[in-house]
Chain A
C-alpha cells in the first residue's frame, strides 16, 4: 500500500515537445484515481513516468514516502495492466501470472497458491494451462489483471485496460475492475479516454488536456462544477450544449431567451463594464418539456419555443435535437479540440444543434414545435477567452491541490 505524489512533474521528449507540463497530484493510499483526456493529452506518458518506463524530465515523484524518480520499474513495487494486455505468448496462463513471482525467486508452492487464488477471483481456474492465443479477449484481459494482482503490489497502473473489449464486455469488466480494486484496496491509477469509465470507476478523476492538468475532483464535482470549457465539454454524455450569449442589462442574453443573473455573474459583468460576450453551457438534462414542469419550479428557469428536429426515445428518457438556426456560432480553442477528439464536426460549438433530455412522458413530435423549459440554476457561463467557468469561479484554484 502506498500513496503517490507527483510534484511539479514535467516530461519533455528529446524532440522538444512538452508532453506533460507541471503536473501536480497527490494520490492517497488505496485511492482509485482516473487520468482522463483526449488522445495525446499526456495521460499515458504520466502513467509511464509513474511506472518508471519513461524518465521524468523535471519534478519529483514520491511513491510510499520515498523519491522514486531514479528507481527502476522493478524496484517500485508497481504492477501494470497494458492496453494490449502484453501477455507472454509462449507461456501458459499460469506461467504468465507467476512470472513476476518467479523472477523474484518465490518458492514454487507459494507461486502456485497465489496464482490459483488469483485465478479463482478472476474465474480463470479452468484456463490456467492454456496459452493466451487460445483465450477470448475477455479472458486475456482477466489474465492481464491476474498478472497484476498475483504480485500484491503497492500500486496498480492501468493503461486503457478495457479499450480492446467489445461494448458489452467492457461494461461487465468495468464493474469487475471496480470490485477487485475495492476488495484489494490497492492504490490504483487508471488511464482512459472514455469519460464514462472515468465517471463510473474512480474515487477522483483528473482531466488532462495537452499536457496540462485541467481539474481534479470526484466525478460528481467535475460534472456539476467544471472549472473550464474543456472539462465541461469532456465530461458528460451526451455532451453539454454550448451557446453564445451576452451579459448586458443585468441579464444573460442567449437565443433561447434571457436568463436572470446570479450575484457572482453580476459582479463579473460589473468588472467587465457593460456588454460582454460569453459562452453558455447547458447540460441536456437541464432542459424539460415545459408542460411537464411543476408550476413552483417553473420560476427557476425560462421557457422558449423551438422546432424539434429529431426525437430519440430511450424508454426511460427522450432525447430531442433542436436547431437554433439564428446562432452566430461559438468558438474557443477548447471546443475545437473536443470536437476534433470526438470526431464530431460541431460539438454544439456551432450552436446550431442542441440536445435536450426530456422526461419519457413528453408528447413532443419530430418536426413539431414545442415549448421547452431550461433550469437557469444549472446554467454555466464561460469566458470565451480563457475558457474559465465564471459560475463556479473559486473552484478553479483548487485544481491539483493535494487531497487530505
Chain B
C-alpha cells in the first residue's frame, strides 16, 4: 500500500467531510425547522431568528401524535421479537439440516425481500379487509414480520454456520436435549447475530410509511410516520411544517439511542476460543 501522504490525507478528509455533510445537513435543517415559529417556517435562515418549544409541546400533548407513537413502539417491538424468534429457528434449520426443498425455501425468502413493496400494497389491502385485519395492530405486525424474516434468516444462518458443529455434539454428550442445546449453547453464541437482526427489523418497522399509511385509518393503530401525514396546522391555510419537523426529530431520537446502545454488542468474536484457536 502506498504511504499516506499529507495530500492523500487531505483528499480523504475532504471527501469524508462532504459525505457526512450531505447526510447531516438535512437532519440539522429539520432540527432547525422544529424550533421555528409557524410564521418563520418560510424564513430561509438556518438558525431560527426566534426559538420556540411550541412545536414540541404541541405534538407531545396531542393524542394525534402520542397514541401513534405508542403504536409505533408496540408494533415495532412485537414484530421484532416474533421475526427474530422465527428467523433464528429457520436459520438454524437451514444452517444445520439437509432437507428437501431447502434451496427453494431460501429462494422464496430472497424473492420476498426483492419484491417491490408498493406492488404488494393493493392485494394485501384487499386481504386485510377480508380478514378483518385492517386498521389493527396484527394488520401491521404480520406484514412487518413477513418482510423482516428474509433478512433475519440471512444474517442468522451466517452466524449459525460459524458456530462449530462440535459444540452441539458436546452439548448432546453432556446430556442436553436438542432444545436445551439450542437455548443454552447455540443461541447465546448467536446473540450478536440476533441483536443485529433485531436492530434491522426494528428499524424497518419503525421507519415504514407505505404499509402504515395503507393499512390504517385511525390513530388506534396508525404509527408515528403515518400520523405525521395527518397533522393539521393552526388554521386550514397553515402548513404544519413545524409540528411535522418536531415529530420527525422525536421519532429519530429513539433510533439513535437504540443503535448507540446496541452497537457494541454487534461486534462478533464471541465464538473465538470454542475450538483450538
Contact = CB atoms under 8 A, between A and B. Distances in A.
B164 A74 contact: no
B146 interface: no
A53 B172 contact: yes
A89 B274 contact: yes
B272 A90 contact: no
A78 B175 CA distance: 9
A85 interface: yes
Contacts of B175: 73-74, 100, 103-104
A99 interface: yes
Interface string B253-266: 00000000000000
A100 B173 CA distance: 8
A86 B273 contact: no
A100 B174 contact: yes
The CB with the most chain A CB atoms within 10 A, among B164, B185, B188, B273, is that of B273
Interface in A42-61: 51-53
Given A74-B177, A137-B276, A140-B276, A89 B271 contact: yes
A132 interface: yes
B85 interface: no
A80 interface: yes
Given A90-B189, A103-B180, A78 B273 contact: no
Contact of B174 (A53, A85, A103): A103
Contacts of B173: 51, 53, 73-74, 78-80, 100
Nearest to A131: B273
Residue in B169, B170, B273, B275 whose Cβ sees the most chain A Cβ within 10 Å: B170
B273 A132 contact: yes
Contacts of A73: 172-173, 175
By size class, the interface of chain B is: 20 to 34
B270 interface: yes
Contact of A132 (B164, B180, B185, B274): B274
A374 to B, nearest CB: 44
Interface string B116-132: 00000000000000000
Contacts of A82: 166, 169-170
A89 B189 contact: yes
A17 to B, nearest CB: 16
Contacts of B273: 87, 89, 131-135, 140
A103 B173 CA distance: 11
A187 to B, nearest CB: 15
Contacts of B188: 90
Nearest to B177: A74
B274 A87 contact: yes
A85 B276 contact: yes
B276 A164 contact: yes
A223 interface: no
Interface hub of B185, B270, B277 (most chain A Cβ within 10 A): B277
Contact of B275 (A86, A90, A147): A86
Interface in B176-229: 176-177, 180, 184-185, 188-189
B174 to A, nearest CB: 4
A88 interface: yes
A84 interface: yes
Contacts of A86: 164, 166-167, 169-170, 274-275
Contact of B167 (A74, A88, A100, A131): A88
B275 A85 contact: yes
A91 to B, nearest CB: 9
A285 B16 CA distance: 73
Contact of A53 (B167, B169, B272, B276): B169
B97 to A, nearest CB: 13
Contacts of A53: 169, 172-173
A52 B277 CA distance: 27
Contacts of B166: 82-84, 86
A85 B277 CA distance: 11
Contact of B270 (A51, A89, A100, A104): A89
A135 B272 CA distance: 11
A84 B276 contact: yes
B169 A84 contact: no
Interface string B134-164: 0000000000000000000000000000001
Interface of B: 164, 166-167, 169-177, 180, 184-185, 188-189, 270-277
21 contacts: A51-B173, A73-B173, A74-B176, A80-B170, A82-B166, A83-B166, A84-B275, A86-B170, A87-B170, A87-B274, A88-B185, A88-B274, A89-B270, A89-B271, A89-B274, A90-B188, A90-B270, A103-B175, A103-B180, A133-B272, A133-B277
Given A73-B173, A87-B170, 20 more contacts: A51-B169, A53-B169, A53-B173, A73-B175, A74-B173, A80-B173, A83-B166, A84-B276, A85-B276, A86-B275, A88-B170, A89-B270, A89-B271, A89-B274, A90-B270, A99-B174, A99-B184, A133-B273, A134-B273, A140-B273
